[in-house]
Amino acid sequence: MTEESHLTNLIELNGIKLTPVIEFFPTDFSRQDRKMPDGGAACTEWEPYWKSCLADSGVKGLNPIERGSCYVATSEITAEQLARALPVFLEDCGGLAELHDADSRPILSGGLALSAYRHGILVLPTCCSDLSNLESWQTAAGYTGLSWEMLWIGHPWLSVKFQQPWLVLSDLHESDDPEARWMVDPADLRNAITAAEEELNRFKEQLAQVLTGLGFVGNATQVAAALSGFRSAESNP
């Protein structure tokens, strides 16, 4: 099969967007003994269950980016909602007090949701992904290799390769044999990454204000940068 005929089998994506999202896993927020709905996120009972669990911790009014998802766009989270959610996010690392220790700071779970004009959401972050996933997309946008290269979004993950003039994206996989699925203009992907980075910077500033409001004493901007996945943030508060 020639490269040209191979490309004709792919879906061309236009108007692509990368939306920063945070994971709100329901059992982390639940304070009651609720049974997870049979059928999981695919059933109609999932969203009421999800919202009830979040409400246990005072987080109300959020909507998932997609039905059945636990991911919420950072742009849709108010300061009040974030102030309620942040202590829950930080429970496993010891709470606000432990944020002074750079080694104890988590990166908020989530990543970037890929969507495209007329296609809607195509890919959500997968298991073990976090907001630092922006770096993986930045690397992918500049990739010019002819062989597959991992695009980490968690597991399963995507892979990417360059096929002039397109960047080819695989379907989700965990094998060594990715299946090509989409093709995108690298310039369009770079524009989507720039917009995502701008949103993450806005969210970082919002997060810094929330940290201060919760009583964190230290360099809130620096800590917020680390939580938001900006690895270049200095290690000391």
* Distance of alpha carbon 17 from alpha carbon 113, whole angstroms: 8
pLDDT, tens only, 47-85: 999 999 999 999 999 999 998 899 999 999 999 999 999
pLDDT exceeds 90 at position 237: no
Exposed / middle / buried, residue 25 (Cβ in 10 Å: 0-12, 13-18, 19+): middle
Q: What is the pTM of this model?
A: 0.93
pLDDT, tens only, 145-193: 999 999 999 999 999 999 999 999 999 999 999 999 999 999 999 999 9
Percent of the chain with pLDDT over 90: 81
pLDDT at 215: 95
Beta strand spans in the chain (E): 11-12, 17-23, 71-73, 110-116, 120-123, 149-151, 158-163, 166-170, 180-184
pLDDT band at 229 (very low <50, low <70, confident <90, very high): very high
Q: Considering the chain, what is the average pLDDT of its residues? A: 92
pLDDT at 168: 98
pLDDT band at 233 (very low <50, low <70, confident <90, very high): low
Query: Is residue 108 within 8 Å of 206, Cβ to Cβ?
Result: no
pLDDT at 235: 45
Pairing type for strands 17-23 and 71-73 reads: antiparallel
Query: Is residue 189 within 8 Å of 140, Cβ to Cβ?
Result: yes
Q: At what angle do helices 186-213 and 134-141 cross, to 10 degrees?
A: 160
Pairing type for strands 11-12 and 180-184 reads: parallel
pLDDT exceeds 90 at position 38: no
pLDDT band at 232 (very low <50, low <70, confident <90, very high): low
Query: Is residue 163 within 8 Å of 134, Cβ to Cβ?
Result: no
pLDDT exceeds 70 at position 135: yes
Domains of the chain: which residue ranges? Answer: 3-226
